[in-house]
Amino acid sequence: MSAQETYENVEKSLQERGQSHLLAFWEQLDADRRLDLLAQIQRLDLTKIDQWMADLVKKPTFTPNCANFTPATSYSPDPAGPEQQGKYAKAIELGRELISTGKVAAFVVAGGQGIRLGFDGPKGNFHISPVRNRTLFQIFADSIAAVSRKYRTVCPWYVMTSRLNYDRTVEIFRSNDYYGLDEKNVFFFQQGTLPNLDPDGRILLADKNTIACSPDGHGGSLKALHQSGAIEDMKNRGVEFLSYFQVDNALINIFDPLFIGLHVLDNAEMSSKAVIKTRPKEKVGNFCLIDGKVNVIEYSDLPDELAERRNSDQSLVFQFGSIAIHIINRTFVERLNAGDFALPLHRAVKKIHHIDDQGNSVESDGIKLESFVFDALPLASNSVILQTRRSEEFAPTKNRTGVDSVETTRQMITNRAADWLEWAGVTVPRKSDGSVDCLLEIAPSFALEKEDIREKLSQIPEIKLGDSIYLA
Ligand code: UTP
């Protein structure tokens, strides 16, 4: 097809969908920029635009059919009764075996823009730990290295970035010598993008020959794993399970034998960890069952009446909040990608930089589209939920200050270290209100779980009021 014919086809297809403005500056572009713009438009799945318009622009409010919602059930953090004790013991043994035979890989989604944190660069490079000021990437890498040593195995690490932060992320790993990991075992890949829309559904231009796009959400990981060759790499290495986590959770326990073991014993394809919500409308996804399948319903989509509903013991009926920690089978990702699979898109109204009809740079409210990984849960043949303690595993760094912030994360790192030390019999100074009165940080090489501390008591100094202690 000649360049002119390609142009005419694209122009016709845009016209049919009310998107001809994408070619408004055509006459001002040189040949290379024209080709570049045409390629971007061809990469857009224009057939989907009508669907987006109908579902996300004209009818922006999602109304779930809550008549079908029933509360999800979960495994509790500690086994209830002898039968469950036996199952947990078996799960832990199986989980350890799977880790030590190299069947489990770490998988961090690090393609977000981290706008709320307001940090220049990939969020994983944010310095967060309270004593040594280690970055999030460093903390995860230390933990992967410690697990590899403990189990005498190789734990590969898959790192998903966006197109926007891929180069910076790879460069950060390189300049930090892969944080001591073997670079062969760290696999970077990029997620896809989706176009930004104005409130009327017109695709925005970032400049005269560039479509304004954003990363396609953490749900994009399930396609990107396949398209990037990460799944092929897993297959070659014999990896069967991905331990999925978010780049902003410094307390993540990446290789949890109990979680992995329960997931496998119950023949699950994708499983999740949950915490008990602190309040009915806490800003976390809610685990529900719909037609017997585990789903996560966003807090904003759960009607107040359901969110507030209580059991006779006053606990919330819909009490389990999602903390974005999953085990995902490699074969599940393969199965999804073998068919015509697409996760639903969600819309978010955000400030977007773009050019107006005159070509001037402006910033205005627009629509960003993204998919969420938890929307894959109902596609799984089975799905396990393991409840965990927030103080042990969930400290999201979303904001500079306030809720889910740098401050709260640093405090939670200290608090968890204090809990572990006290459990092992070490005295930790506390204020009269019970809060910890020192800064503490435990390196994964020192302890991956509280049980590891008992063997190292002789290496722990006396901890005094106001101390800053790093145990490594
Ligand atoms: P968030 O929803 O917190 O978004 O991502 P964010 O982009 O990091 O932060 P804000 O909203 O701009 O402040 C949760 C996790 O999902 C990843 C993020 O990197 C984070 O680990 N994510 C999010 C992606 O990998 N890709 C995306 O497109 C979106």
Tens of pLDDT along 82-127? 999 999 999 999 999 999 999 999 999 999 999 999 999 999 999 9
Looking at the structure, tell me whether residues 102 and 127 fall in a common domain.
Answer: yes
Is the C-beta atom of 215 inside 6 A of ligand 1? yes
Looking at the structure, tell me whether residues 386 and 408 fall in a common domain.
Answer: no
Crossing angle of helices 81-100/257-265, nearest 10°?
Answer: 100
| Residue 56 located in a structural domain | no
Cα–ligand 1 centroid distance for 300 (angstroms): 18
Determine the pLDDT at residue 61: 67
Is the C-beta atom of 191 inside 6 A of ligand 1? yes
Task: Phi first, then psi: give them for residue 58, nearest 5 degrees.
Answer: -75, -30
Determine the pLDDT at residue 23: 97
Looking at the structure, tell me whether residues 385 and 417 fall in a common domain.
Answer: no
Is the C-beta atom of 288 inside 6 A of ligand 1? no
The pairing of strands 320-329 and 241-246 is antiparallel
Determine the pLDDT at residue 191: 98
| Residue 58 located in a structural domain | no
**Secondary structure E strands in 11-146:** 69-71, 104-109
Looking at the structure, tell me whether residues 232 and 258 fall in a common domain.
Answer: yes
In terms of residue numbers, what domain contains 19? 3-43
Is the C-beta atom of 348 inside 6 A of ligand 1? no
Check pLDDT > 90 for residue 286. Answer: yes
Looking at the structure, tell me whether residues 12 and 85 fall in a common domain.
Answer: no
Is the C-beta atom of 398 inside 6 A of ligand 1? yes
Q: Which of 381, 398, 415 is the last residue of a domain?
A: 398
Write out pLDDT tens, residues 367-388.
999 999 999 999 999 999 999 9
Question: DSSP readout, 114-171?
Answer: -TTTT-SS-GGG-B--TTT--BHHHHHHHHHHHHHHHHTS---EEEEE-TTTHHHHHH
Looking at the structure, tell me whether residues 311 and 204 fall in a common domain.
Answer: yes
Structure tokens at 366: 């627009």
Q: How many domains does the chain have?
A: 3
Question: What's the rounded mean pLDDT across residues 183-205?
Answer: 96
Cα–ligand 1 centroid distance for 378 (angstroms): 22
Of 246, 343, 369, 404, best ligand 1 pocket probe by most atoms within 8 Å of the beta carbon: 246
Q: Residue 324: give its domain's CATH number.
A: 3.90.550.10
Looking at the structure, tell me whether residues 155 and 206 fall in a common domain.
Answer: yes
What is the four-CA torsion angle of 337, 338, 339, 340, rounded to 10 degrees? 50
Q: Express as a percent the part of the chain with pLDDT over 90.
A: 91
| Residue 208 located in a structural domain | yes
Q: Which of 398, 421, 455 is the last residue of a domain?
A: 398
| Residue 161 located in a structural domain | yes
| Residue 435 located in a structural domain | yes
Check pLDDT > 70 for residue 60. Answer: no
Check pLDDT > 90 for residue 63. Answer: no
Is the C-beta atom of 362 inside 6 A of ligand 1? no
Looking at the structure, tell me whether residues 195 and 216 fall in a common domain.
Answer: yes
Of 123, 169, 216, 218, best ligand 1 pocket probe by most atoms within 8 Å of the beta carbon: 218
Determine the pLDDT at residue 87: 98
| Residue 55 located in a structural domain | no
Looking at the structure, tell me whether residues 165 and 195 fall in a common domain.
Answer: yes
AA identity, residue 131:
V
Check pLDDT > 80 for residue 202. Answer: yes
Looking at the structure, tell me whether residues 71 and 188 fall in a common domain.
Answer: yes
| Residue 381 located in a structural domain | yes
pTM reported for the whole predicted model: 0.96
Looking at the structure, tell me whether residues 37 and 95 fall in a common domain.
Answer: no
| Residue 61 located in a structural domain | no
Is the C-beta atom of 416 inside 6 A of ligand 1? no
Structure tokens at 159: 């790192």
Looking at the structure, tell me whether residues 377 and 425 fall in a common domain.
Answer: no
Q: Which of 380, 398, 416 is the last residue of a domain?
A: 398
Cα–ligand 1 centroid distance for 433 (angstroms): 35
Is the C-beta atom of 374 inside 6 A of ligand 1? no
Is the C-beta atom of 248 inside 6 A of ligand 1? yes
What number does the ligand 1 atom closest to the CA of 160 have? 25
What number does the ligand 1 atom closest to the CA of 399 have? 13
Closest CA to 244 of 232, 235, 256, 236: 256
Is the C-beta atom of 112 inside 6 A of ligand 1? yes
Is the C-beta atom of 325 inside 6 A of ligand 1? no
SS3 at position 91: helix
